[in-house]
Amino acid sequence: MGVFEDFITEYKAAKEAKTNLAESEGILRLIQKSSDILLDAKMLPSKELKEAINKLKTRAEEPMKVAITGQFSSGKSTFLNALLAKNILPTGITPVTSKVNYIRYGSEFSLMVKYKDGRESFHGVESIKSFTDQRNSVEDIDYLTLYAPLELLKHIVFVDTPGLNSQSFSDTETTEAVLKEVDGIIWLSLIDNAGKMSEEETLEQYMHAYQNKSLCVLNQKDKFSDEQIKASVDYIKDSFKKYFAEVVPISARQALESRAHEKHIMLESELKAALKKLQTDIETNAYKIKEEFVQNAVNSFNKASSNIAKLPSKDELLKESNIEAVLDFIHKEIKPIAIDSKEFAITHEIKRLLSDLIEQEEKLISIFEEIEEVLNNCENEIKQTCTELKSRFCAQLNESYLKIEEIIEKISSEILSNKTNAKRVRYAKKSGLFGGYEPFYYEAPKINSDEIYKKLFFDDDLIGKMFKRYLNSLQSMQDEIERENKALFKSLEECVSKWQKPYELIRKSKSVQSDIQFANIRKFASKAYENILKPFSDEMAVNFAKTSSKFRHVSAGIKFNYQNATEVVVAFLERRIEKSIRLFEENPTSFGIYEPKLDDIRERLQTSLHLYEFQNMMKGGRSFIAKNYDMLLEAFIKIKEERLKLIAEHKAEYVKLKYTLNSLLNAIA
């Protein structure tokens, strides 16, 4: 049984003896559990998250990766050809491997070329040189994958790298990136080149972090004696122990040639050559004796067989190459670490995904908490502003009411000032025998209504001008209330707008985060007016409409009633004077003549103008302005609570998702 078959047998035995975490309760179950949670529809998962989970599943099931690296011309390609038992990878004195080559299991030999734009193309393995030689134009190629039908590759993926001392910085950078992600590293060096200063500088720069998973392979042992090989191995083990877990000398050439040293294959090849020559001799030399040609062929084959018998066997040559020590290191040292590191890496990656998603939910939650804080802060500002406006406009409205009283006082004074005393006469029967009537002279008040109307309403229009100024002041107060109310809403709008602007364009910060969740936030923010401000705006409009209605009522009550009320009062006074005169003349001892007083006139005007109704509307803490600001504030607080409830419902979705993610993260930890 060959070394490759031994490796597979031992691998399977070890696999049965120790349950592989990726196939047991460990990593695959963790990935599946994570997938069930993270890719649930309620998470609104992104395409990138789905791809990341699928990559984890693939990673959990795929073989371990072993990178082959080293300095230029260290025999990496020859070594891999030896492992593949086939001259596939190109070799030469120039750096021909300019791309990463993944060597994987496949049902047949084939080459897949992956381009940087995402394209893939498949070719025969014989064309690999044209895609790896950096002397060719290969800039648009990302990496190559070589598929080979070897049992070994079912359990190991070899990664052929450009090397670490290439003249191309990008090649070195690419190799360095590969070393970080593989499970094991085989460092190829020529025995006579090992330990030189240039190599030590490269190891120090790139390999210091990989000691536990790195094997140093010294190639071309077939060119040196056992003593020279031992000296080189001992020197490397002592000098470079911080870089490598083990040092193994090999001959990649012998390992590769061992395939050609299978004697039955060599004999078959020689027999075919002898028979072909016999056929050619017979066809071209028909006139000669054919038995001679047959004998010559037999002699040639016997000689070749004798030489083949003296050659070392395939197994001897393979053993001499010492390549089985490399496979033994992979099996005993790299594989256990690979299993553990795969578990660690995948678990770490799941934690990173969870952290990115938790960060997303925390960000979205904080966005809603910000608008909650905005509304709560605005409530305090609105309360303070409404209180100030209520106090200010109630004071103005009270002053406005007092102006009505001033106008009434002016009308009353004007009516009284146009009262005169007129001489009148009454006749009473004389006493005595002859009888008859005797005149008695007296004075009675007279209201000069024409003069009153002329001065108050017509020629001078004194009261008309006063009421016009008064109505203008009411309109100015109404306009000022409207401006202040708009400013009140504007301050709320500006606070919401300040919150809104950065979130109308917000995008996810990590690729795996949910595009839809952030799109929903953008939509919510862009509709801030509908979602938050519109109810406030509507309530402001309704409230101001009520305020305007009250102002119109006051204005109309004064504008259309003041002249009529004056006329009614004047007519009342005239009637009352005439009535008192009649009663006086009929019975002067029982009745006196009514003399209008300023208080009487004022009270009568107040009644005619419905002043007591205006007093209830315009004075004190129960004025219509006070009531409307109280209602506005009450409505604002109610709307704010409704908006907070809506926001809380949105936020609760993300709080629930965060709780789910944290629960999974805690379960993993």
d(CA 334, CA 329): 7
Predicted pLDDT at 315: 64
Structural domains in the chain plus CATH codes: 63-251 (3.40.50.300), 262-321 (no CATH), 354-421+447-508+515-668 (no CATH)
d(CA 414, CA 410): 6
Cα–Cα separations (whole angstroms), residue 494 to 56, 377, 479, 538? 47, 13, 22, 17
3-state secondary structure (DSSP) of residue 527: coil
User: Which one is predicted more confidently, 158 or 86?
Assistant: 158
Helices (H) and strands (E) in the chain, counts: 23, 11
Answer yes or no: are the C-beta atoms of 132 and 144 closer than 8 Å.
yes
Radius of gyration of the chain (CA): 54
pLDDT category of residue 661 using cuts at 50, 70 and 90: very high
Residue 434 confidence (pLDDT) above 70: no
Please work out, in degrees rounded to the nearest 5, the angle formed at the alpha carbon of residue 359 by the alpha carbons of 357 and 364.
95
Predicted pLDDT at 183: 80
For the entire predicted model, the pTM comes to 0.65
d(CA 248, CA 327): 11
Answer yes or no: are the C-beta atoms of 445 and 421 closer than 8 Å.
yes
d(CA 314, CA 146): 25
* pLDDT cut 70: percent of the chain above it: 84
HSE-up of 74 (CA within 13 Å, CB side)?
A: 28
* pLDDT cut 90: percent of the chain above it: 34
Residue 304 confidence (pLDDT) above 70: no
Helix (H) or strand (E) holding 202: helix 197-206
What is the 3 state secondary structure string of 606-657? HHHCCHHHHHHHHCHHHCHHHHHHHHHHHHHHHHHHHHHHHHHHHHHHHHHH
Q: What is the pLDDT of residues 606-621, one digit of tens each?
A: 888 888 888 888 988 8
Q: What is the pLDDT of residues 28-53, one digit of tens each?
A: 888 999 999 999 999 999 999 999 99
d(CA 175, CA 74): 15
Q: What is the pLDDT of residues 591-604, one digit of tens each?
A: 889 999 999 999 99
Alpha helices in 505-561 (DSSP H): 515-526, 528, 534-559
Tokens for 65?
């990766």
Among the listed residues 486, 474, 476, 479, the one whose alpha carbon sits nearest the alpha carbon of residue 632: 486
Q: What is the pLDDT of residues 439-487, one digit of tens each?
A: 888 888 999 988 888 888 887 777 778 888 888 999 999 999 999 999 9
Among the listed residues 278, 305, 283, 307, the one whose alpha carbon sits nearest the alpha carbon of residue 294: 278
Residue 177 confidence (pLDDT) above 90: no
pLDDT category of residue 238 using cuts at 50, 70 and 90: confident
Q: Which residue has the tokens 């079912």?
A: 154
Among the listed residues 76, 95, 261, 38, the one whose alpha carbon sits nearest the alpha carbon of residue 159: 76
Predicted pLDDT at 24: 43
Q: Provide CB contacts within 8 A for 294, sequence distance 6+.
A: 278
Find residue 436's DSSP bridge partners: none
Answer yes or no: are the C-beta atoms of 148 and 58 closer than 8 Å.
no
